Structure 1
Amino acid sequence: MKKFKKISAAIAATVMVASLSVPMIASLPAGAADITITGISTTQQHSFEIYQVFTGDLTGDILTNLKWGSGVTATTYTDAGGNAVTVSAGAAVDENIVTTLTGLLNAVGVVEHFTLAATPTETMVSAADGTATISGLADGYYIVKDVTNLDDQDDANSAWIVQVAGSASIDIKNAKPTVDKQVYDNDDGVTGDNNGWFESADHAINESFQFKLTATIPEDADFAAYEAYKVVFNDTMSDGVTFESIASVKVNGTDVPAYAEGTADNGYKSTAAPAQAGGSWTLTIEDLLEYDADLKDGSSIEVIYNAHLNENAIVHTATADNTDTNKNTVSLSYSNNPDATGAGTAEGKTPEDTVWVFTYEVDNTKYKDSVSAENALADAGFRLYKGETEVGLVYDAVKGAYRPVADGETAVEMKSAADGKFNIIGLDAGTYTLKETTTPGGYNTCAPITIEIKAVHEENAGGTAANLNLTGSSNMTNDVINKSGSLLPGTGGIGTTIFYVGGGCMVALASVFLITKKRMSKKED
């Protein structure tokens, strides 16, 4: 009996806290006859099934005279002679079997070596304060199984726990991942520019830039319950964004390769199609433990991918409502309910995180002499420059405006249409110069126009939209006027000198003519 008590005490002292999604074992002290679970989500009610494994006599923290409970029907254990052990509710548990069970009563051991009854011994649900209590139970060991359906919910089931005998309180740990999406904003040389990774950015159409997805697995020892831990990034791009390529995937700074057919099931798998415009795609790491064997210390998974705005991007003007456009989101699916082998399935899902990308429009109308509809002037040619570099533009007939060129396209000179318009869509923030390069006959060439797009954009306090402020911008709307007639060169120019010299010569010739004519008249007299 001393040996039996020592073994029982060893079992009572065995404590294992696994995580996120399997049942628990609890022993009940004499007189308490209840189980209390704390640490449950307060936003999601959880349901539990309770299975009685053993009953016995509890003295202090030692359970003796073990008998099989009603919650299990079979075990894989064998006796000293190699014979299968028969499980029968109320039958005594052989002392040798108890010896075998010592050290094996843990999360995986219980799942692998016991068959649960078809009907649980008891059931209970959690309260709004994140606790669950069930009373009226006999002293013994119990499996408490979290059976809450949490598909696509940002929550996790509780874990198998071998509880110290004499304590009926279980504090579970439901740590769960978070995900964040950011977009890179380059230096546009204007005040208020973000310059780095933020929740919003501005870019030109067909300008390549990057998105960054970051999943954070919190520090929590309960991840030891998983033999595999799966994460899936669910990325959704607006119609105005085109996917280019995956730039990098890292776990705690270590590169993760792309999965290759015919190799072991490792690396990342992406469903994004080349040049995919808009829509959703996923990036999956089947088992995070291959890259971080000790998730209890926390992990960071970073995905960076290349993309660009396409011709379907929503553009922003100096006067229009510029909030909540070109939004792009990500959520994370993650293992939150491992099965009996601990193999994770991505059933939990975080809320979406959103970023916004802005691009801008400059509206131009060409007139002759003055601004009026009847004075619209067609066929004037213009080119746009950023510094000394021309911004390559093409005409988009669908949009009725010029936009930045894509790969393989040839830039053209902008021409004012019959209504005088030659609008430009899809520009980044910055300073530009609009130059007239072809002037209609009979009109003067207009002076270059400096355009400044100064944009301040940021996510709002609730994270539901991004606000844009274009205050300080100039000439985002332009009336470009050509005056009819010829423009004479200024004072001191060679052109005026020619007129002065020519006039002087004419006066001199006239004087010579008059003097000659007078002399001839005198001779005739």
Structure 2
Amino acid sequence: MKLIKKIAAIMLSVMMVLGMASVVSAEGTTTSGTSTANTGKITIDNAIVGQTYKIYKILELESFSGKPSSGANTGNYAYKVATGWSDFIRTGEGNTYLEITDGYVKWKGATDDASVAEFAKKALAYATSKNLTATKTEGPVTNKTVEFTDLALGYYLVDSSAGALCSLNTTDTDVTIQEKNDVPSVKKEVQEDSKVNATDEWGKSNTADIGQTVNFQTTITAQPGAQNYVLHDKMDERLTLTDGSVAVKFKSGETEKNLIENTEYTLTTSGLADGCAFEITFIQSFCNTLAKDDKIIVTYSATLDDGAVPKTEYKNETWLKYGDNNETNHDTTKTKTFEMPVFKYTKDGTKEKALEGAIFTLSKDQNGTDPINLVKTSAENAAEGTYRVAKTGETGVTTVTTPSSGKFTIKGLDADTYYLTETKQPAGYNKLKEPVTVVIAEDGTITVGTNKTPVDEVKVLNNTGTILPTTGGNGTSLIYFLGAVLALVSGVVLITKQRMKNS
């Protein structure tokens, strides 16, 4: 039978490896290295190190004749179905492209590049679904050239774990094809809420309050020949995925659109054995449309829960599985929260004396308004008070009273500028005139006021007032007493002198 000669020039995901003479020649002469007149060799140049390459024989070449010296792809070809492929051609998706007559196969489909490439993808999907054993497998490869030698002549599908290859040849025993696929990659970023609309809004780390919604973005850079794309996302236990927050977009050049769940991808958020928060499986019909460097952008959010420990890095990790159980790089972001230790004291000579009973609020407003809602986590009689930022919907307090130690700590704070306002001072002490400015940097270091030297705790000094004399006090009583004594003495002296005169 004769295949349409145009197939010989089409670049797609299948390969023909054919002989120079009829198969009836039981023994052929060597024509090139390990190839003979009735065996072939496939060479893949520019192979991707680490990938695995497979070939599947779809059709067997029973006989061939007629290649002229000019090298034109003409002649007579007789093909029969290879083992395992009959259902695909007779009743499956391959029936659109091939037909069997009297046991021989011929091409009947369209011969444009897109149609033949689609045939190759359907053939690969069939091989995968039926668990067909590859004719030969090489990999994971360690260099840029891969060879399949001593191949029986026939019609071969060539597959790589990076994507289907694209080549077709109908005449040569030795065929070389170029690997034009590349591996996909992922990039993960997290949004820093204090930098919204800034050029560095998205990066590899951020800081957050307890209960804050943290926004994430993963960008997949796709490649042609995409197979079995599944995005995995794993969060540390203190990050909780926000229900309904996952959205998927596709971008190619200037074109951007939202992808439709259950049409172009499926989303799984529970029952995942690998501990992932969610997985996105991209439907193969969508993957078939992907071109080089197309972008798939996945956005979602999570909440930092109340068990987050200050200065601990909470990671969100993502990776893409593709092809035959391959994985991209694992990309990770880190989220941290901080704390603010405070010590209220006065000076007793050179010693620092703790002050009990001072009342404070903490705010991000420089006037001390709109205080942060807090939840007390320490016992009422604890030597040091411990509070954390309240989550949305929690009942909390907006004031903190210093215990006998004069110390308290507020946990779960974002990197930001805060204002600690004394609303009531301890009895007998002067009230602070203005809020104390406290800056928590992105690395968690704390500075107070205009002093840029980092401190371990925020020290707040209160001074006692001066004791002033008052009317009716001991000072005037003493004066009155001394005046009375002087008056009495003067009287005695006058009386004594008068008696002396009279005598």
TM-score (norm 2): 0.68
**CA distance 1:303–1:473, change in 2 (3 Å):** farther
1:330 and 2:318 are equivalent in the alignment: yes
Deviation at 1:479, TM superposition (A): 3.9
Equivalent residue letter for 2:392: D
How far apart, CA to CA, are the structure 1 residues paired with 2:123 and 2:457?
Answer: 76
- Aligned residues of 1:208 and 1:307 also touching (Cα < 8 A): yes
**CA distance 1:137–1:297, change in 2 (3 Å):** closer
**CA distance 1:100–1:232, change in 2 (3 Å):** closer
2:374 to 393, 396, 401: 393
Q: Which has the higher contact order (CA 8 A, sep 6+)?
A: 1
**CA distance 1:435–1:122, change in 2 (3 Å):** closer
User: Which residue number in structure 1 is paired with residue 16 of structure 2?
Assistant: 25
Deviation at 1:173, TM superposition (A): 3.2
Larger mean Cα displacement after TM superposition, 66-75 or 35-44: 66-75
2:276 to 268, 276, 280: 280
Deviation at 1:499, TM superposition (A): 6.1
How far apart, CA to CA, are the structure 2 residues paired with 1:202 and 1:285?
Answer: 30
How far apart, CA to CA, are the structure 1 residues paired with 2:425 and 2:178?
Answer: 80
SS in 1 for 2:407: coil
- Give the total of aligned pairs: 436
TM-score (norm 1): 0.66
How far apart, CA to CA, are the structure 1 residues paired with 2:258 and 2:134?
Answer: 48
User: Which residue number in structure 2 is paired with residue 254 of structure 1?
Assistant: 257
**CA distance 1:481–1:46, change in 2 (3 Å):** same
SS in 2 for 1:10: helix
Equivalent residue letter for 2:192: D
1:284-433 to structure 2, matched below 5 A, reads 284=280, 286-287=282-283, 294-296=289-291, 298-316=293-311, 325-334=313-322, 336=323, 347-367=325-345, 369=347, 376-386=354-364, 387-388=366-367, 389=369, 390-397=371-378, 401-408=386-393, 409-433=395-419
Runs of 5+ unmatched residues, structure 1: 78-82, 88-92, 149-154, 224-228, 260-264, 274-278, 317-321, 338-346, 457-467, 490-495
SS in 2 for 1:187: helix
1:101-180 to structure 2, matched below 5 A, reads 103=111, 106=116, 109=119, 123=136, 125-126=138-139, 127-137=141-151, 140-146=153-159, 155-159=161-165, 161-163=167-169, 165-166=171-172, 168-180=175-187
User: Which residue number in structure 2 is paired with residue 56 of structure 1?
Assistant: 64
How far apart, CA to CA, are the structure 1 residues paired with 2:177 and 2:195?
Answer: 56
How far apart, CA to CA, are the structure 2 residues paired with 1:52 and 1:512?
Answer: 133
Mark the structure with the bigger radius of gyration: 2
Deviation at 1:61, TM superposition (A): 4.0
SS in 2 for 1:296: coil
**CA distance 1:425–1:169, change in 2 (3 Å):** same
Equivalent residue letter for 2:440: I
The C-alpha deviation readout for 1:435-474, integer Å capped at 9, x for no partner, is 3334344555467533222335xxxxxxxxxxx7779564
Equivalent residue letter for 1:477: E
- Aligned residues of 1:45 and 1:128 also touching (Cα < 8 A): no
Deviation at 1:302, TM superposition (A): 1.8
**CA distance 1:206–1:168, change in 2 (3 Å):** same
1:35 and 2:42 are equivalent in the alignment: yes
SS in 1 for 2:6: helix
SS in 1 for 2:406: coil
How far apart, CA to CA, are the structure 2 residues paired with 1:355 and 1:118?
Answer: 38
**CA distance 1:86–1:37, change in 2 (3 Å):** farther
1:209 to 204, 214, 234: 214
Deviation at 1:215, TM superposition (A): 1.6
1:477 and 2:490 are equivalent in the alignment: no
Equivalent residue letter for 1:326: Y
**CA distance 1:365–1:214, change in 2 (3 Å):** same
Deviation at 1:197, TM superposition (A): 0.7
**CA distance 1:100–1:302, change in 2 (3 Å):** closer
User: Which residue number in structure 2 is paired with residue 237 of structure 1?
Assistant: 235
- Aligned residues of 2:12 and 2:120 also touching (Cα < 8 A): no
**CA distance 1:112–1:381, change in 2 (3 Å):** closer
Equivalent residue letter for 1:85: T
- Aligned residues of 1:232 and 1:282 also touching (Cα < 8 A): no
SS in 1 for 2:237: strand
User: Which residue number in structure 2 is paired with residue 276 of structure 1?
Assistant: none
How far apart, CA to CA, are the structure 1 residues paired with 2:242 and 2:133?
Answer: 53
User: Which residue number in structure 2 is paired with residue 465 of structure 1?
Assistant: none
SS in 1 for 2:387: strand
**CA distance 1:143–1:107, change in 2 (3 Å):** farther
How far apart, CA to CA, are the structure 1 residues paired with 2:445 and 2:352?
Answer: 34
**CA distance 1:404–1:118, change in 2 (3 Å):** closer
Equivalent residue letter for 1:424: I
- Aligned residues of 1:71 and 1:120 also touching (Cα < 8 A): no
**C-alpha RMSD over aligned residues:** 4.9
